[in-house]
Amino acid sequence: MPLMTKPTLSSVPANTRPSQDEAMEAVRTLIAWAGDNPDREGLRDTPKRVVKAYQEWFRGYDQDPADALSRVFEDVSGYDDMVILREIDVESHCEHHMAPFLGKAWVAYLPTDKVVGISKLVKVVEIFAKRLQTQETMTAQIADAIEDALKPRGCAVMIDAVHQCMSTRGVHHPNVSTITTQFTGEFKTNPSLQDRFLRVIGK
């Protein structure tokens, strides 16, 4: 099963990535296009601040989920039940409008002969969230990464998020959340496992 289901910055040659100055000039252009003066006092340093924010918001392009999941532990003392992480914060940006979507993720897997540190699962969610995304793609990517690294008997991923592109523009419905799920292996073939996962996470 492939680790990535869509292209990432790692597939873009480094010499084609715009410089920081070019990125800042692009922000100045957008400010002017919006109708304001990028040289007025309150906006003079905005391009620099926006570029710095982008470095934080989209740092996932410079990180590899396979690295985060590379250290595993084989001494599981026969444990073969679900490992579940609840309510992982999700802060991402939709690829259609570059607007934030914010919510929570729940991740579970059924180990075979190895487990991974629980913080590494959180890290995988963060890596995919810190990219331009659709929620559906991110949900699948997280499951794919866990499947590829751990070879579990199955995994389950759920994300519940509110999209600002729908809250602050377009239809203007701020209280609508989007729920996406991805089940693999035994979670996909055994409805009772799906039900148990959903009960445990309170959904």
DSSP 10-29: GGS-GGGSPPHHHHHHHHHH
pLDDT tens-digit series, residues 7-24: 444 556 666 889 999 999
Active-site choice (96, 126, 172, 186) = 96
Active-site choice (94, 126, 133, 186) = 94
94: annotated active-site residue: yes
Residues of the chain with CATH 1.10.286.10: 9-57
9-57 to CATH, choices 3.60.20.10, 1.10.286.10, 2.60.40.420, 1.10.275.10: 1.10.286.10
Higher local confidence (pLDDT), 42 or 172: 42
Average pLDDT over residues 95-124: 95
Active-site choice (91, 164, 165, 194) = 165
pLDDT band at 78 (very low <50, low <70, confident <90, very high): confident
pLDDT band at 189 (very low <50, low <70, confident <90, very high): very high
Amino acid at 161: A
- The yes or no reply on domain 65-201 and CATH 3.40.50.300 is no
96: annotated active-site residue: yes
173: annotated active-site residue: no
Q: Is the pLDDT of residue 4 over 60?
A: no
Helices 46-57, 20-34: crossing angle, 10 deg rounding: 120
155: annotated active-site residue: no
**pLDDT of 16:** 85
97: annotated active-site residue: yes
Active-site choice (147, 163, 182, 186) = 163
**pLDDT of 142:** 98
| C-alpha pair distances (Å), 100 with each of 25, 58, 60, 65, 147 | 22, 12, 15, 21, 27
Residues of the chain with CATH 3.30.1130.10: 65-201
Active-site choice (87, 95, 136, 173) = 95
Q: Is the pLDDT of residue 103 over 60?
A: yes
**pLDDT of 167:** 85
pLDDT tens-digit series, residues 119-170: 999 999 999 999 999 999 999 999 999 999 999 999 999 999 999 988 888 8
93: annotated active-site residue: no
**pLDDT of 79:** 87
Residues in a beta bridge with 103: 90, 161
Active-site choice (133, 135, 141, 182) = 135
Nearest Cα to Cα of residue 91 among 55, 57, 43, 48: 57
**pLDDT of 173:** 86
Higher local confidence (pLDDT), 80 or 75: 80
Q: Indicate the helix (H) or strand (E) that contains 141.
A: helix 135-150
**pLDDT of 123:** 97
